[in-house]
Amino acid sequence: MFESIFSIFQHPTFILVFRVLYYTSFVWLPVILLIGLRDLFLNYRRAQFFSKQKNVLLEIRLPREIFKSPQAMEFFIAGLYQPFGDANWYEKYWKGATIPSFSLEIVSIEGEIHFFIWTREGHRNRIEANLYSQYPGIEIYTVPDYTLPVSYDPTIHGMWTSEFSLTKSDAFPIKTYIDYKLDKDPKEEYKIDPLTPLIEFLGTLGRGEQAWLQIIIRAHRNEDKDPKTGEKIDLKWKKAAEEEKEKILKKSKGEKGPDDKIIPGTSRFLTDGETETVKALERSISKTGFDVGMRAVYIAPKDTFNPGNIGGIIGGVTHFNSSLNGFKPSGMSTPKYKYFPWKDRNPKVINWEKQDMLDAYKRRAYFYPPYKRPHFVLNTEELATLFHFPGGVSTTPTFARIGSKKSDAPSNLPI
């Protein structure tokens, strides 16, 4: 066996190839090294860039009554579209700059519900102004990061972590607030808010239990290349939606014969489901798109950790699913320590996949190494469905709301 292997190295073809590679190594070896060093240098500069950023966590406290539909939140989210930051070589490779990302978070701490937005400090004023313009009765505070005091010790805590992915192609939309008729601003008693089941469940958590839902977004840009022209196009979302629409419309046109003419009797009308799908695809790509990463964390002391709550969190997210698209838990992608199996052989030692997920959550990291994950695309309408401020339809007693409505002092008070 070994003789046959060694005979390969003595073959004239192998010797010829080896000599060619050896004598031309001064050409191809530096190129390979430069490509590898370019990625290392880019990651190094990005790490420096991130370390210099000052980030803030904003908590939004809601009034007793909110009469705005999720359309107000859609308007706000559209204002977060910032496609600039690494537009040229100097910004991307030398400064390590990236386009800004934002984290929209719904959190339950022992059953008390909180809405947070994590952002770079430079965007704070604009975010506050846009929120106040749509929701005048809210209050916004800069608060300490609720994740920092939390650590994972498997001897003390039980913890479940997961990311979410789409069940179908990014081109197909999830069920949105428009499908629930919430864009019509119906009366509270007639509202069917898809976010309410998740809020109600989070309000049931007890002593020591915490559940976090994180939606990280950044502006979606054309990052794919057209195989014919080489130009940047959007194969993942808009182009895919156009192709799916053409597949459906092609069914109604009929089949073509050998002469490239439509065969009589093969054309038909679209079904109601196909018509609704085409409309949904057209509406989806008509709005601004964002790259999105979603993850959830449930952590509690071992004596109060309830595995049944995992189903409550997953059910609250998959409640947005429809026949077109939806969410599914996808677990942990590319664990950092997958090549070091000795790190998780002992069950008493930290599960490093869970620890990595917790670290990524705390850093609000999703799109860049070492916490880069597969992301998907949602438009502003879909994001506003996932993250908006519910009105009085949500009666969770632990849902922290502002006790009384503030108003200006009368102008005729004596001085």
DSSP for 186-215, written as a single string:
--GGG---TTHHHHHHHTT--TT-EEEEEE
Which has more pLDDT, 12 or 247?
A: 247
C-alpha–C-alpha distance, residues 336 and 355, integer Å: 10
More confident of the two residues 408 and 279: 279
Structure tokens at 193: 């808010």
pLDDT of residue 108 exceeding 70, the answer is: yes
Residue percentage of the chain with pLDDT more than 90: 48
- Rounded to whole angstroms, the Cα distance separating 61 from 132 reads 12
The number of C-alpha atoms within 13 Å of 97 and in the hemisphere containing its C-beta is 15
Q: What is the pLDDT of residues 115-144, one digit of tens each?
A: 999 999 999 999 999 999 999 989 999 999
Evaluate whether 66 touches 405 at the Cβ level (below 8 Å): no
Q: What is the DSSP secondary structure assignment for residue 269, as one 8-state letter? A: P
**Residue 102 to residue 412: CA distance in whole angstroms:** 44
Residue 217 is predicted with a pLDDT of 97
Q: How far apart are CA 204 and CA 186, in angstroms?
A: 27
Q: In this model, does residue 42 exceed pLDDT 90? A: no
Give the integer Cα–Cα distance in Å for 47 and 28: 29
- Mean pLDDT of all residues in 58-79: 91
323 pLDDT above the threshold of 60: yes
- Taking all residues of the chain, what is their mean pLDDT, rounded to a whole number? 83
H helices, E strands: number in the chain: 12, 11
Amino acid at 271: T
Residue 209, pLDDT > 70, answer yes
What pLDDT score was predicted for residue 8?
62
Mean per-residue pLDDT, 19-28? 76
Q: Taking 70 as the threshold, does the pLDDT of residue 281 lie above it?
A: yes
Which residues touch 310 (CB under 8 Å, ≥6 apart)? Answer: 160, 298
Cα separation, 282 vs 173, in Å, equals 10
Q: Report CA-CA distances (Å) from 117 to 80, 123, 291.
A: 11, 11, 17
**Residue 259: what pLDDT?**
63
Q: Given a cut of 90, is residue 76 above it in pLDDT?
A: yes
Is 185 in a helix, a strand, or coil? coil
pLDDT band per the 50, 70, 90 thresholds, residue 249: confident
pLDDT value, residue 87: 74
pLDDT one-digit tens code per residue, 155-202: 999 999 999 999 999 999 999 999 888 887 656 666 788 899 999 999
Q: Where are the alpha helices (DSSP H) in 89-237?
A: 89, 124-134, 196-202
